[in-house]
Amino acid sequence: MANDLKREGISEASATNERLTPRRGVEIREVGPRDGLQVEKPLSVEERLSLIKALVEAGATEIEAASFVSPKAVPAMAGAGELFKALDDSDEVRYWALVPNLRGAEMALESSAKALTVTISASPAYNLHNVAMSIEDSIRELTRITALVANSSNSREIPVDAVVSCAFGSPYEGDISPLDVAVLTERLLEIGVSRVTWADTTGMATPRLITALLESSSPPDVGLHLHDTRGTALLNAYVALEHGVRRFDTAIGGLGGSPFAKGASGNLATCDLVYLLDEMGIASGFNLSKLLEAASLLEQLVGHPLPSKVYAAGPRIATNS
């Protein structure tokens, strides 16, 4: 299985799947500046930009840089507009803005964001807590957002990724049926989102649940956004790789959480996934030793140890010596 995966990750999938960027087996979207920092004490825009610069130097080409939410609700994301305007405008890196609603999407586009993530939950109660809308209202809002993007001048360059939170379990309702997630995913693709990412917001996914969902629904180019709350994130990523998933959201140092989900903790750590992919011979475009430098900068900025195992232990073979 590992050999099949290795071959597929390097060449066959890249050759046959146009959604994969040619030089990468796996696309990693770095979400640390948004999902990682949102639960931390607020950093200045300059500090956040310095982290983003370090991530780009480590090889990140897809970065969720901030969310356009109320600074009262999430103080650490204040200044998102200023941050986006200061980002380098090259085509090398695509900066994603998380937006909770149409107003957020308008603000993100006004600030020159080139890609939008919009969360919608598979859990009705979580959706209410997170964005104060029913799932049906969120679908309507997403329809408005896709229309806004389609009518904007650069529409072809602005993908909308619908991130389905609590896809593997909800802190309010418990189990979420794979069928519910599959039906919601289909509806989202029907209303014109560019792609869908399933998020394990509160770390309830297991290899069994990942397999169950991927076997009941396999939308094109589906991504996974995993959290390590119960120590299963890397296991889940491995199982998903075996099932052909080639897109992952990860956060530098394994930072992260949700302000609206009690007990939610770190994202799958970028360094831990890159370490695994490197060892399997699957290209991610990241340089592990530079990623560890970015994690070190992040640790100084947030002022506490980071959850990443590879950051704590260092790479198996020292790459800095």
Residues at the contact surface with Mg ion, assessed by CB under 5 A: 35
Enumerate residues 6+ apart whose C-beta is below 8 A from 183.
none
- In terms of CB distance, is 228 or 278 closer to Mg ion? 228
Torsion over CA: 134, 251, 159, 114 (sign):
positive
Tokens of 171: 């802190």
Residue nearest Mg ion, Cβ-based: 35
Choice between 20 and 118, CB closer to Mg ion: 118
Query: Closest approach of Cβ 210 to Mg ion, in Å?
Result: 16
Q: What is the DSSP string of 161-227?
A: EEEEETTT-BTTTB---HHHHHHHHHHHHHTT-SEEEEE-TTS---HHHHHHHHHH---TT-EEE-B
Task: State in angstroms the smallest separation of the CB of 75 from Mg ion.
Answer: 18
- Of 35 and 278, nearer to Mg ion (C-beta) is 35
CB of 35 or CB of 228, closer to Mg ion = 35
Nearer to Mg ion, 20 or 255 (CB): 255
Of the pair 269, 283, the CB lying nearest Mg ion is at: 269
d(CA 22, CA 29): 16
Place of tokens 């087996």: 25
Nearer to Mg ion, 164 or 283 (CB): 164
CB of residue 225 vs Mg ion: minimum separation in angstroms?
6
Shortest separation between residue 272's beta carbon and Mg ion, angstroms: 16
Single-letter residue type at 225? H
Decide: 228 and 265 in contact? Cβ < 8 Å: yes
At closest approach, how far in Å is the CB of 298 from Mg ion? 16
Residue ranges of alpha helices (H) inside 113-167 are: 124-131, 135-151
Phi, psi dihedrals of residue 149, rounded to the nearest 5°: -65, -40
Q: How far is the CB of 3 from Mg ion (least distance, A)?
A: 32
CA pair distance 227, 210, nearest whole angstrom: 13
Q: How many CA atoms lie within 13 A of 299 on its CB side?
A: 14
269 - beta bridge partners? Answer: 251
Could you tell me the smallest distance in angstroms from the CB atom of residue 156 to Mg ion?
A: 28
Nearer to Mg ion among residue 35 and residue 161 (C-beta): 35
CA–CA distance, 5 with 232 (Å, rounded to integer):
20
Compute φ and ψ for 66, nearest 5 degrees. -175, 170
From the CB of 207, what's the least distance to Mg ion, in Å? 19
Write phi, then psi, for 227 (nearest 5 degrees): -115, 150
